[in-house]
Amino acid sequence: MNNEIIYTDEPMELGEVVEDFLPPPEELIPKKNKVNVTLELTEETIRFLKAEAAKQQISYQEIISALVNQYAKTRLHI
């Protein structure tokens, strides 16, 4: 198999120009009304959450937020 790339001086055919249809980056992720809180958890719990977060490549705070939000939704029947 030959992986060598052969370049030529031939004119390139350009594709069709597509109008930008995406919103600006700041509008791609909806902002939610968030409130900062202080929370005390055991070291064992934090180690577990950090390990799980590393597997998912997210922050452990995101996991805590998702857990609390899901709990509230089930209790509030949202």
Query: pLDDT (tens digit, 9 = 90+) per residue, 2-49?
Result: 788 888 888 888 888 888 877 777 777 667 788 999 999 999 999 999
pLDDT for 62 equals: 92
Using 50, 70 and 90 to split pLDDT, how confident is the model at 57?
Answer: very high
H or E stretch at 60:
helix 60-76
* Residues 56-70, mean pLDDT to the nearest whole number: 92
Burial environment of residue 27 by CB neighbours within 10 A (0 to 12, 13 to 18, 19 or more): exposed
Alpha carbons 8 and 2: distance in angstroms, whole number: 17
pLDDT for 44 equals: 97
H or E stretch at 46:
helix 43-56
Is 60 in contact with 49 (CB distance < 8 Å)? yes
Mean pLDDT of the chain: 87
pLDDT for 78 equals: 58
